[in-house]
Structure 1
């Protein structure tokens, strides 16, 4: 019998892991973290936030410059972080990159009242991408609306199919407190998963879908986007899944210290590096992806110490 979560007893999450895994991860120094790189998994440090977000923005440009009418390509990108998005627009405008043959996938969107939230919702990811990125690009350079793909309740199958029709050069993401990418949260501790979380093979079969959000994901988003007003955060979302993620040539995770904490930033890298896959820590599934990068703002790594402040 696995341990009961310390955070939400009717859910799976990282607190149900073997404690030795957590102790080993917590003890990692900055140097240890960097040395977790291995074939298929690369740990990269950035010394300044300017360097960090510019490097993230340049992955958009790198992907879009590879796209042609005959061989379309694009990037799947997050809301969280978002600081890279205005930089992407600035680069497109300054370099005069015509995006007419380029594609973009949004990773996720909030869902409530039986459908995705409208783009007028203050937390809408569609709205954030439009306001921070696409509306800042010169009209003559913008990609067509039909080249922008979101996992909406009405088009999940079409969204999944697009990853077979268009080359996804890079899937970017952040890491939340639930150790997720996009909204691939741990599952509830119920039904077939009452005594053990799903196997990696079962979780890997999940494609774009509507998901229930772990309570710590609700708390995180209330903290980062709602002043702590958790009842204002939808309890469900639509999300890109592992099925689409494994069709991306590269998975690139960006951690500036604003979303997960020093322990979480160590835990997932440790598990991926060592091939420890457990769906209570969804990010650990990336141990089996052939090309994963973890980017860190070095000053955010800090240490995992227990002390009063």
Structure 2
């Protein structure tokens, strides 16, 4: 079942998201001494991560049992992960926006922060499965409806069942995704944005025990409206959240007004 939550603005969305992730993490650590979080990047998550780190620090949370798996990473033209020094590297983003904000006393192990590998990308799904699956997956939504870098595919090419079973893999990015990421993260310079990425597959995302999707851009209103219509289609990857038993979509009313 997918629940929809409208909040007033970006700050309120960020606070709600941080509280949900904080509470879920603490619950898992308390019940089983481990927690596997699926994390996302992008402008949507910046304030959330700042608030989340502060919550863990303020509550003296022991994060030695926390393990994270990011949704994606950019790849070079020859199919390798971009180096962490790359200006758009998601490893760099996560360290700057979240991991470096944890106080040393939180005991977070950076070696347990994982990203999908370019070589044998499907091994990422095995790693997630070996650790019991994702306890919570945080998502954004692309302006074309993608989640992670699972880009839309025609129903003439793939069935809904086959799309939902897609593994982690290296893919070519759609022009709209490149243009959008250039505008939002690369000073509107498409040449800075890699044309390939390694993405977590739909299979691992949809197997998460809980999914939280956040949206705060006007351009996300169209794909969210399609999801509201109730149709699940590989032409809008985020629509597959409708088949998930515990997913929540949180959006900001000041930018997404008509839902």
TM-score, normalised by the number of residues in structure 2 = 0.91
CA contact under 8 A between 1:174 and 1:255: conserved in structure 2? yes
Q: Secondary structure at the match of 2:75?
A: strand
Cα distance in 2 for partners of 1:151, 1:264 equals: 26
User: 2:148 is paired with a residue of what secondary structure?
Assistant: coil
Gap change, CA 1:60 and 1:261, over 3 Å in 2? closer
TM-score normalised by structure 1 residue count: 0.77
- Which residue is equivalent to 1:174? 140
Q: 2:159 aligns with which of 187, 191, 199?
A: 199
Give, in whole Å, the separation in 2 of the partners of 1:70 and 1:47: 35
Give the Cα separation in 2 of the matches to 1:213 and 1:294.
24
Q: CA deviation at 1:278?
A: 1.6
Equivalent position SS for 1:156: coil
Q: Using the alignment, how far apart are the partners of 2:120 and 2:9 within structure 1?
A: 39
Question: What corresponds to 2:246 in structure 1?
Answer: 291
Q: CA distance change for structure 1 residues 243 and 267 in 2, over 3 Å: closer, same or farther?
A: same
Moved over 4 A (4+): 68-71
Alignment of 1:148-187 (within 5 A): 148-154=113-119, 156-164=121-129, 165-187=131-153
2:137 aligns to what SS in structure 1? strand
SS in 1 for 2:57: helix
Distance in 2 between residues matched to 1:109 and 1:203, nearest whole Å: 20
Shift of residue 60 of structure 1?
Answer: 2.6
Give the Å deviation of 1:155. Answer: 5.6
**How far has the Cα of 1:287 moved from its partner?**
2.2
How many residues are matched? 254
Q: Who is 2:173 aligned against?
A: 213
When structure 1 is superposed on structure 2, of 127-136 and 226-235 the one drifting more is: 226-235
Hey, what's the Cα distance between the residues in 2 that align with 1:70 and 1:49? 33
Give ranges in structure 1 of 5+ residues lacking alignment.
1-39, 305-309
Q: Offset of 1:205 from its aligned partner?
A: 1.8
Q: Distance in 2 between matches of 1:166 and 1:148?
A: 16
5+ unaligned residues in a row in structure 2: which ranges?
Answer: none
SS in 1 for 2:83: coil
Q: CA RMSD in A?
A: 2.0
Which residue is equivalent to 1:8?
Answer: none
